[in-house]
Amino acid sequence: MKAIETKLLKKTYGSTPVVKGINLTVEEGEIFGFLGRNGAGKSTFINMLTGITRPTSGSFTILGVEGPDERMKKHIGVMPDYSTLFNSMNAIKHLKFLSSLSGKPVSTTECQQVLKQVGLENAGNKKVGKFSFGMKKKLGIAQAIIHDPNLIFLDEPTSGLDAESALHIHRLISSLKERGKTIFMTSHNLDEVEKICTTIAIMKDGSIVKSGTMDELRSYYRSAITVELKHAAVPASESQNLYAWLETTGSELRRETGFTSITVGSEKKIAEIIRAFTRCQVDIFRVEVNEPSLEEMFLAE
Amino acid sequence: MIAIGKREFISMFKSVKSIIIIAILLLTSYYSAKFSGLLASGIALTEKEMADIHTVGLLILLFIFGQLFVMGLSHDSINKESHERTMRFLVTRTSRLQILLGKFAGAWLFWFTCLVISFLVIAIFALKFDFFIFSQVMALLTFQIALTILLSVAIPKPSATMFLGILIGLLFPALGAWLVFTDNPWVSWLKFASPYYYLMEDTYQFLIIFGLAGLLLAAAALIFNRREF
C-alpha cells in the first residue's frame, strides 16, 4: 500500500501559489526526505497532508484513506515546524494528553520508554516550559511517535540539535523504519538526508523538480563524475596521445606527475580511461571516483 | 473531546479563578439576602422571587456581569492555542469539531461546578436547592460561554478578544435589556435572539436559550473549520 499519494495537490494564498499541483507517491516503509530551500513550500505541503491547512485543489490519500479525513489522524504522527509545546505540562503529561487525543491512551511507563528513545529519560517530570530548545525538539519527536503511528511526519527533526543528539535521532528514525514505519521528513541538513533517507524529492518554488531513490538521483546527475587516478609516470612516447584522447573524453582535465583528474559524463568512461592507461603500460595505484553529493545535486537545482 | 474538555476544566479550576468566582457568587447571594429590601425597591420582584432572594441575586448578578466574567476567563480559549501554535498538535490528532466542543465542555463544566458549589453552600443556609433558578442560570451561562467561544474562534488575536471581551461583556447585557424592553419596531424583533428575553418570566421558555447557544456553536464550528494554523 502507498503511504502517501498526492494528485495535483495545490495550495494558494490569495493569488500566490505556494504549492503548485504536486504529484507524489511515498511507499510504505520508506524514509522519504523532502528537500528544498526556505519558502520552497515543504511545510505547506506537510501541513496539507496532516490537516493543519486545507488544499486549494487536488487530492491526496494517506495510508489508503482519501484526505482530509479524521480517520487517518489515528495513524499518523506529526512533528510540525516551529510549534511551541504545552509549557505548563510536564513531559509525561504532555505525551499522555496528546496520545489520548489520538484515541490511544498510554501509561506512564510507555511515556518513559518513548522519552528514553529520544534521549529525555531524565526529564519526564520536568515542566516543558523549562526545557531547552533541543529538549523541546526531542519532545516534539516523542509526541509524534507516542501513539505508535504508521506514518510519521517530521518537519526538520534535527535542526538546532547538537551532533550527538542528531545522531541519536537518526538512529531512532532508522529503528522506526526497521519496525515498518514510514517516515516523511523535511530537512536542510543534506548529509542527514543522504545518510538516512531511502527516497528523496527536491522541491523548488512550490514544485517537485526531482524525486527518486538516492541511486536514481545520482544516476541522473552522473553527468559530472570526477575520476582521480594515482599512477606511475606516463612514458614520454605515449603522453601526447594519451592526454589528447583524455581531453576529448572528458572535461576539467588536470595532470600532474603521477596524478590525473578528469570529469566524465558516464560510468562507462571510467573503464575506458583505465584501459587507456593500461594500454600505455602505465601502472595505476589508486582510482577514486567522486559521485555528486546530495548537496551538489541540490545546488544544481 | 473528553481530553480537551478535561484539560480546559482542570486548567481553569485549579487556578485561583474558581475560588474568586465561587466567592463572588456566595458574597452576592449573602448580600442579596441582606439587602433584599433595597433590591426589591430597585427591581420588581415577585413574592416567590423574594422568597428565593439568595439565588435570584445570583441570577441578577450573572444577568449584568455574567458575560464579562465568562469573557474574562475564556476569551482566549481557542485563539491562544492558534496564536501559540499548540493548535497544530490538536488539529493533527482530532477533528476541529471535537476541539471546539471540548473547549466548550471544559468551560461549561467549570461554571457548572462553581455554580453547584455556590448553590450547595446557599442551600445549607436557605435549606433549599432551587433547581429552576439553577437551570435558568446555567442556560444563561451556556449562551455566554458559546458566545465567548465564537468570539475566540472568529478573532485570531488573544489581545483583541481581551479588549472586545470586556467591551461585549459590558455592552451585551445593556443591549440585551434594551432589546427586551424597547418598542422600536425596527429592532424589537431582535429580542428573540437575546437570552434575557427568555428569562423575563418564570417559565420553561429559558430552554430556548440552549438552542441559541447551539446556533452560536454551529457558527463557531463553521468558522473554525475554515481556519488554517
Direct distance between the N- and C-terminal alpha carbons of chain A, in angstroms, rounded to an integer: 31
Taking residue A50's Cβ as centre, other Cβ atoms within 10 Å add up to 26
Can you identify the CATH homologous superfamily of domain A28-51+72-219? P-loop containing nucleotide triphosphate hydrolases (3.40.50.300)
Buried-exposed string A82-117: b where 16+ CB fall within 10 A, e elsewhere:
ebebbeebbbbbbbbbbbbbbeeebeeebbbebbeb
pLDDT level of residue A301 (50, 70, 90 thresholds) = low
Q: pLDDT, tens digit, for every residue of A184-209?
A: 999 877 778 888 999 999 888 899 98
The cell numbers describing A17, all together, are 501559489
Query: In this predicted model, which residue has the larger pLDDT, B49 or B95?
Result: B95
Determine if the peptide bond prior to B195 is cis (ω within 30°).
no
Does the CB of B127 have a partner CB in chain A at under 8 Å? no
- A-chain CB neighbours of B2 within 8 Å are 100
Reported ipTM: the value is 0.81
Of A200, A229, A153, A160, give the one whose Cα is nearest residue A295: A200
Find the angle CA(A57)-CA(A61)-CA(A66) to the nearest 5 degrees. Answer: 80
The cell numbers describing B213, all together, are 447557544
Residue A204 confidence (pLDDT): 86
pLDDT higher than threshold 80 for residue A295: no
Does the CB of A97 have a partner CB in chain B at under 8 Å? yes
CB distance B123 to B47 below 8 Å: no
Residue A298 confidence (pLDDT): 66
For the ranges A168-177, B33-42, B43-52, B127-136, the one whose mean pLDDT is highest: A168-177
pLDDT higher than threshold 80 for residue B49: no
Residue B63 confidence (pLDDT): 83
- A-chain CB neighbours of B94 within 8 Å are 70, 73, 101-103
Selecting from B4, B86, B93 the residue whose C-beta is nearest the C-beta of A73 gives: B93
Residue with cell 478573532: B155
> Which CATH number describes the domain made up of A223-296?
3.30.70.260
Give burial (CB, 10 Å; 0-12/13-18/19+) of A269: middle
Interface subset of B 8-27, CB within 8 angstroms of A: 11
Residue A82 confidence (pLDDT): 67
- B-chain CB neighbours of A83 within 8 Å are 85-86, 88-89
Does the CB of A13 have a partner CB in chain B at under 8 Å? no
Selecting from A50, A82, A88 the residue whose C-beta is nearest the C-beta of B92 gives: A50
Does the CB of A145 have a partner CB in chain B at under 8 Å? no
For residue B44, the number of C-alpha atoms closer than 13 Å in the C-beta half-sphere is 2
Instruction: Give the integer Cα–Cα distance in Å for B154 and B164.
Output: 12
pLDDT higher than threshold 90 for residue B200: no
pLDDT higher than threshold 80 for residue A220: no
pLDDT level of residue A39 (50, 70, 90 thresholds) = confident
- B-chain CB neighbours of A82 within 8 Å are 85
Distance from CA of A123 to the nearest CA of B (A): 20
Residue A127 confidence (pLDDT): 92
Does the CB of B149 have a partner CB in chain A at under 8 Å? no
Residue B185 confidence (pLDDT): 84
3-state secondary structure of B203: coil
- Reading across the β-sheet that carries A65-67, which strands appear in turn? A16-27, A2-13, A57-62, A65-67
pLDDT higher than threshold 70 for residue B44: no
How large is the average pLDDT for residues A268-291? 89
Does the CB of A98 have a partner CB in chain B at under 8 Å? yes
Could you tell me which chain B residue has the CA closest to the CA of A99? B93
Distance from CA of A132 to the nearest CA of B (A): 17
Does the CB of A78 have a partner CB in chain B at under 8 Å? yes
pLDDT level of residue A83 (50, 70, 90 thresholds) = low
Residue A173 confidence (pLDDT): 92
Distance from CA of A229 to the nearest CA of B (A): 54
CB distance B169 to B67 below 8 Å: yes
Mutate to test the interface with B, among A48, A54, A85, A101 (most CBs of B within 10 A): A101
pLDDT higher than threshold 90 for residue B147: yes
pLDDT higher than threshold 70 for residue A175: yes
Q: Please judge whether B7 and A50 are an interchain contact, meaning their C-beta atoms are less than 8 angstroms apart.
A: no
pLDDT level of residue A14 (50, 70, 90 thresholds) = confident
Could you tell me which chain A residue has the CA closest to the CA of B99? A101
Could you tell me which chain A residue has the CA closest to the CA of B84? A84
Does the CB of B92 have a partner CB in chain A at under 8 Å? yes
Distance from CA of A194 to the nearest CA of B (A): 28
pLDDT higher than threshold 80 for residue B53: no
Interface subset of A 224-283, CB within 8 angstroms of B: none
Selecting from B7, B88, B94 the residue whose C-beta is nearest the C-beta of A80 gives: B88
Q: Please judge whether A98 and B93 are an interchain contact, meaning their C-beta atoms are less than 8 angstroms apart.
A: yes
Does the CB of B93 have a partner CB in chain A at under 8 Å? yes
DSSP bridge partners of A263:
A226, A251
H or E stretch including A23?
A: strand A16-27
Buried-exposed string A200-211: b where 16+ CB fall within 10 A, e elsewhere:
bbbbeebebebb
Q: Please judge whether A52 and B11 are an interchain contact, meaning their C-beta atoms are less than 8 angstroms apart.
A: no
Taking residue B131's Cβ as centre, other Cβ atoms within 10 Å add up to 10
Q: Please judge whether B91 and A51 are an interchain contact, meaning their C-beta atoms are less than 8 angstroms apart.
A: yes
pLDDT level of residue B206 (50, 70, 90 thresholds) = very high
Residue A300 confidence (pLDDT): 65
Buried-exposed string A23-48: b where 16+ CB fall within 10 A, e elsewhere:
ebebeeebbbbbbbeeebbbbbbbbb
pLDDT higher than threshold 70 for residue A231: yes
The domain segmentation of chain A, as residue ranges, is 28-51+72-219, 223-296
- A-chain CB neighbours of B90 within 8 Å are 101
Residue A195 confidence (pLDDT): 85
Q: Please judge whether B3 and A100 are an interchain contact, meaning their C-beta atoms are less than 8 angstroms apart.
A: yes
Find the angle CA(A249)-CA(A251)-CA(A254) to the nearest 5 degrees. Answer: 105
- B-chain CB neighbours of A104 within 8 Å are none
pLDDT level of residue A143 (50, 70, 90 thresholds) = very high
Q: pLDDT, tens digit, for every residue of A46-82?
A: 999 998 999 999 999 999 888 788 888 889 999 987 6
Selecting from A70, A88, A143 the residue whose C-beta is nearest the C-beta of B89 gives: A143
Residue A147 confidence (pLDDT): 92
Residue A222 confidence (pLDDT): 60
Distance from CA of B229 to the nearest CA of A (A): 6
Distance from CA of A165 to the nearest CA of B (A): 23
Cβ contacts of B159 within 8 Å, gap of 6 or more:
none
Q: Please judge whether A101 and B90 are an interchain contact, meaning their C-beta atoms are less than 8 angstroms apart.
A: yes
pLDDT higher than threshold 90 for residue A161: no
Residue A103 confidence (pLDDT): 87
Residue B99 confidence (pLDDT): 95
